[in-house]
Amino acid sequence: MSFQGFSQEKAKNEIIIHKDLKWSERMALSIIKRAPQARQIDNNEKPKWDYKLGLVMTSFENLYKKTNNPIYAAYIKEYAETVINDSGEILNYKLEDYNIDNINAGKMLFDLYSKTNDKRYLTAIKTLRKQLETHPRTHSGGFWHKKIYPYQMWLDGLYMGTPFYARYTVEFDGGKDLNDIALQFEQVQKHTIDKKTGLLFHAWDESKQMPWANKETGTSPNFWSRSIGWYMMALVDDLDYFPKNHPKRKELIQYLNEISEAVAKFQDPSGLWYQVTDTGSKEGNYLEASGSAMFVYAFAKGVNKGYLPSKYKKLAEKGFDGITQKLITVDPDGEIHITQVCASAGLGGNPYRDGSYEYYINEKIKTDNSHGLGPFILAAVELDK
């Protein structure tokens, strides 16, 4: 099925979302109904190369592998053709920005290249790999989050950069960079962990210059569920590429077990997790969809792959039930929506984001934001829901 000229009106009329379909397909078809071209997700007016759309494309890839329904593969391909021209140049991408977020959407290109043998996808893959070659690093070897955020590692960046890097090194370089990928996790583990809770702070500034940074440790002041979710998804996805005999594999599995144990302690009786992970129902805090879905996905995949004990499958099921019961709404025509998604959060920048509790709880909350859509599908596919 091609999406060329697949209009909003046509999508509304032609896509039927049966309630007996699995949640994964109900959500994917709802997305296509609302946004016949993937670039329209999040109400984007123009096409753009975007980590959030890359996240949704990854979820569609997993769904396609599970269902073999060509509608999902066509949706990915149409987006790729929109943002990569015939020469393999990536729309609105600048290597010299050294933004780790820009790597994430590159993950969809590997399967596209192997299926189509279209050289433009290979050119784009090589461009993104080139960025990592010269991407600035902390003195201890961690990728900066962005050139505009010098000497900073954010948990988000592990998901943005390392799964692409891991697949690249295994498929093109015989796995020679797996130690460098493990180093990224070692740095985050060493510098962001809170000894008391076992949770990871959102970010670390090696220079300790940022006003948000703890003057002794360099960490930001709070635990943000989605940032920890990014980190956990990066772990379970990167482990796909670490062979059983790789010396760093055990260490990464250990990190996954430690953070899973810490996160499990803060699961609300509803099955969900709060925006600020450790403060429960403190005034202003709320049960947040994207972080909850990411934890569910990481727990479920961790158990399915044998990295985590089976008890985490039960916690994942409980979390998924919490999402569908409390955060999903269903229209009369069967279209579904995910609510209570934090639209965006970060540190520094202009206007300045100080990482305070008040900052995290006051960021915009949206319905059907891509940060929630992708992880919901990933979690549903992993749990076969």
Q: Residue 9 has what pLDDT?
A: 54
Q: Report the C-alpha gap between 242 and 249 in whole angstroms.
A: 6
pLDDT at 13: 66
Which among 48, 43, 111 has a CA at the least distance from the CA of 373?
43
Tokens at residue 217, please? 């440790």
What is the pTM assigned to this prediction? 0.97
Nearest to 33 by CA among 63, 8, 3: 8
**What residues does 219 pair with on adjacent strands?**
204
- 70-95: buried (b, 16+ CB within 10 Å) or exposed (e) per residue? ebbbbbbbbbbbbbbeeebebeebee
351 preceded by cis ω (within 30°)? yes
Q: How far apart are CA 172 and CA 142, in angstroms?
A: 22
CA distance 69 to 111: 15
Give pLDDT, residue 14: 83
Sign of CA dihedral 84, 156, 43, 370: positive
Contact 294, 226 (CB under 8 A): yes
**Average pLDDT per consecutive 10 residues, the chain (385 residues; last block may be shorter):** 49 82 98 96 95 98 97 97 98 98 98 97 98 98 98 98 98 98 98 98 98 98 98 98 98 98 98 98 98 99 98 98 98 97 97 98 98 99 98
Query: Distance between CA 100 and CA 346 in Å, rounded?
Result: 14
Joined together, the tokens standing for residue 339 give 């609510």
Other Cβ atoms closer than 10 A to 321: 16
CB 343 within 8 A of CB 364: yes
Any residues with CB less than 8 A from the CB of 180 and at least 6 apart, and which? 141, 165
Residue 75 near residue 2, CB atoms below 8 Å: no
- Segment (H or E) for 359: helix 357-362
Which amino acids are annotated catalytic?
A: 156
pLDDT score of 2: 44
